[in-house]
Amino acid sequence: MIAKKIHIVADAKETNSTILQLLSDDPEIALEIKELAIGDYILAKKCVVERKSASDFAASIMDRRLFLQVAQMKTSYPQSIILLEGNLFDIESAISHAALCGALSWLSVLENISVIPSATTQNTACLLKTMARHLSEGLGYEIPLRGNKSKDPQIISQFIIEGLPGIGPAAAKKLLQAFGSVAEIFQASVSELMNVPGIGKKKAEDIRKALEYPYM
Structural domains in the chain, CATH included, are 6-137 (3.40.50.10130), 153-210 (1.10.150.20)
What's the burial of 132, exposed, middle or buried (CB within 10 Å: 0-12/13-18/19+)? Answer: buried
Task: Look at residue 1 in the predicted model and tell me its pLDDT.
Answer: 45
- Residues of 148-168 as b/e, b for ≥16 C-beta within 10 angstroms? eeeeeeeeebbbbbbebeebe
What's the burial of 19, exposed, middle or buried (CB within 10 Å: 0-12/13-18/19+)? Answer: buried
How many residues does this entry show for the chain? 216
Q: Return the CA Rg of the chain.
A: 26
Task: Look at residue 143 in the predicted model and tell me its pLDDT.
Answer: 63
Task: For 77, list phi and psi in degrees, rounded to 5.
Answer: -135, 145
Pairwise CA distance, residues 140 & 155, whole Å: 31
pTM for the complete prediction? 0.68
Count Cα neighbours of 182 within 13 Å in the Cβ-side half-sphere: 13
Closest C-alpha among 57, 67, 62 to residue 90: 57
Task: Look at residue 2 in the predicted model and tell me its pLDDT.
Answer: 53
Task: Look at residue 138 in the predicted model and tell me its pLDDT.
Answer: 85
Closest C-alpha among 146, 194, 196, 190 to residue 176: 196
Low-confidence residues of the chain: pLDDT under 50:
1
Task: Look at residue 151 in the predicted model and tell me its pLDDT.
Answer: 77
